[in-house]
Structure 1
Amino acid sequence: MATDFFTLKGKTAVLTGAARGLGLTFATALASANCNIAVLDILHEPSPCLLALRDHHDIKLEYYRTDITSRREVSVAIEKIEAEFGRIDINVNAAGVVTDESFLTTTDENVDHTFAVNFTGSFLVAQACANSMVARYKSVHGSKPAAQPTNGTIILIASIATYIASSAQQISCYAASKAAVKGLVKPMAMELAPYGIRVNSLSPGYMMTDMMRGLQEQQPQLVDQFERETLFGRVGIPGELKGPILYLCCASASGWYTGQDLLVDGGASTWKHPAILATA
């Protein structure tokens, strides 16, 4: 159970990509803090684990099948959320795709799809949620700039790939899309601060997601490489991101933290990996 310091009771969070994967981990963390949750995802049906959060934590939780690369679909979903939840306090943009493909042969399809989901999708949902937060602020405070960062928070999910290139995968397109996402953080934080809104990003390292488990079966040497690249000799457990996401979402914990990227990578980006040098 979350302490009072990390409580989000009465708040509403809009999460993308939470039907499964790390997004589901983030939803679980916010639900444990008694946050109401609205999920936007492209899957027809979310994981049963997501829907179970509703009764387990006695929160309001709804799933909206949405193509986040479509401005029209995003607008419709946000309008429904405003009507059904009453307000939007938190936005976590976790939807993402990655394709292992050589830079020299990367296709237009890969570029278009990766940037559409990872960058454009995050941009559109963050923009819609920010407009909702700003409208609420103006209805109460008018044009007076905020003195406290308590009106809302937006979290973009970046990646360790923006800090260090891994020889284990060829994901230049993905890395570029996540760099673009991280590039939104500082200008958004500056523009939204007058409305009491904080903006940050979270950069996970190698995590044991469903996708990673699939790689472990198909390419065990790849996951072995990831493990050797961290300081603890293993990839991260998704639950180890629950604390960081709660920190970013709770103004009581991170009210003076905005315009920053929080890197959680088990130290993988801090050293020259012996695993690489040994194979040189």
Structure 2
Amino acid sequence: MNARFEGKVVLITGATSGIGEAVARRIAAEGGAVVLGARGKEAGERLGGEIRERGGRALFVPTDVTVEADVERLTAAAVSEFGRLDGAFNNAGAVNAFGPVQDIEESGWRADLELNLTAVYYGLRHQVPALLASGGGAILNNASNLGVVGMASVAPYVAAKHGVVGLTRAVALENAEHGLRVNAIVSGAVDTPAFRNSMGATPEGEAAIAALHPLGRISRPEEIAAFCTFLLSDEASFITGAALAVDGGFTAR
């Protein structure tokens, strides 16, 4: 691999599995220092250790992205450990509430908004000043395909992810003149542990989800990571305020 991230420091949430892990491994392999934020301490320490064993630079900070103090501490740790922050990938997210909207309790609504939208706000609130202090850089938010289309039975998640797209565009406009780019990815179904534990738990479930994508399959985390690392790199220097699809054609229907 090339050295696109040599001398760069990139913060990643939801970093210990799936897309986040794949992005962390790729950036580290391309010369960047990665700051890993996630709830799972054992998985985080293991991933950080593996990256360091391969000659990379990595720091794991236990983080609950729904707690602003945790997000603030994660960002501060990146700057304290490596002296700067050049990029951030706000990737943590999950569906908490299922069913018709009239059957969803307020607690489920709030849980989806807190994890999938408010947590991104917390990230931006602390990442933007740190990035500006380093001279700019790039932020990427994971909006998922449900950030631009609807789906029945997951209304709170859809609402939150649509909010991520709007938040991305607003913050991109606020910071364009300062050399800070902010984009969102619109990702389709990805073969992650979370997917395997839910919709892809059975061959029938996986086939049904795969059929929603014109390419006829779900993606590998490494495929999404390739696009994410491009958007976080200087190669994407003229892209900001965009919600870009890497979804096997899901949103093209």
Query: What TM-score do you get using the length of structure 2 for normalisation?
Result: 0.92
1:190 aligns with 2:173: yes
Contact persistence 2:28–2:57 (CA under 8 A): no
Matched-pair contact (CA < 8 Å) for 2:19–2:225: no
Runs of 4+ residues over 6 Å off in structure 1: none
Structure 1 residue 162, shift from structure 2 partner:
2.4
- Indicate if the aligned counterparts of 1:24 and 1:50 stay in contact, CA closer than 8 A: no
Deviates more, 1:187-196 or 1:83-92: 187-196
Please name the residue that 1:278 is paired with: none
Which residue identity lines up with residue 238 of structure 2 in the other structure?
W
Contact 1:17 1:41 in 2 (8 A): yes
Partner amino acid for 2:71? Answer: V
User: Which residue identity is paired with 2:85?
Assistant: I
**Is 1:257 the equivalent of 2:239?**
yes
Aligned to 1:181: 164
Please say if 1:90 is aligned against 2:73. no
Task: Tell me the residue number matched to 1:126.
Answer: 124
Please tell me whether the aligned partners of residues 207 and 238 of structure 1 are also in contact (alpha carbons under 8 angstroms). yes
Following the alignment from structure 2 to structure 1, what is the Cα–Cα distance between the partners of residues 105 and 64?
A: 22
Seq. identity, %: 24
Q: 2:184 is aligned with what amino acid?
A: S
Q: Secondary structure of 1:88's partner?
A: coil
Larger displacement relative to structure 2 (64-73 or 256-265)? 64-73
Residues 217 and 116 of structure 1: CA distance in aligned 2, closer, same or farther (over 3 Å): closer
Name the larger-Rg structure.
Answer: 1
Under a length normalisation based on structure 1, what TM-score does the superposition of the two structures give?
Answer: 0.84
How far 1:50 sits from its partner (Å)? 4.7
Task: Identify the residue that residue 113 of structure 1 maps to in structure 2.
Answer: 111
Unaligned regions of 5+ residues in structure 1, if any?
138-150, 272-280
Task: Name the aligned partner's letter for residue 108 of structure 2.
Answer: N
Deviation at 1:67, TM superposition (A): 2.0
User: Given the alignment, which residue of 8, 11, 32 partners 2:8?
Assistant: 11
Aligned to 2:32: 35
SS in 2 for 1:63: strand
CA contact (8 A) 1:19 1:45 kept: no
Query: Which residue does 2:183 correspond to in 1?
Result: 200
The whole-number CA distance in structure 1 between the counterparts of 2:146 and 2:173 is 25
Which residue number corresponds to residue 163 of structure 1? 148
What is the one-letter code of the residue matched to 1:15?
Answer: I
Q: Describe the SS at the equivalent of 2:43.
A: coil
In the alignment, is residue 99 of structure 1 matched against residue 96 of structure 2? Answer: yes
Letter in 2 for 1:123: Y
Which amino acid is the alignment partner of residue 121 of structure 1?
A
> Deviation per CA, 1:83-113, whole angstroms, max 9, x where unpaired?
1110000000011121351122112221111
Conserved 8 A contact 1:27-1:50: no
Instruction: Check 1:234–1:116 CA distance in 2 against 1; reply closer, same or farther (3 A cut).
Output: same
Segments of 5+ residues of structure 2 without an aligned counterpart are: none
Aligned to 2:220: 237
- The alignment's C-alpha RMSD in Å is 1.8
Following superposition, the deviation at residue 44 of structure 1 comes to: 2.6
Distance 2:198 2:240 in 1: 35
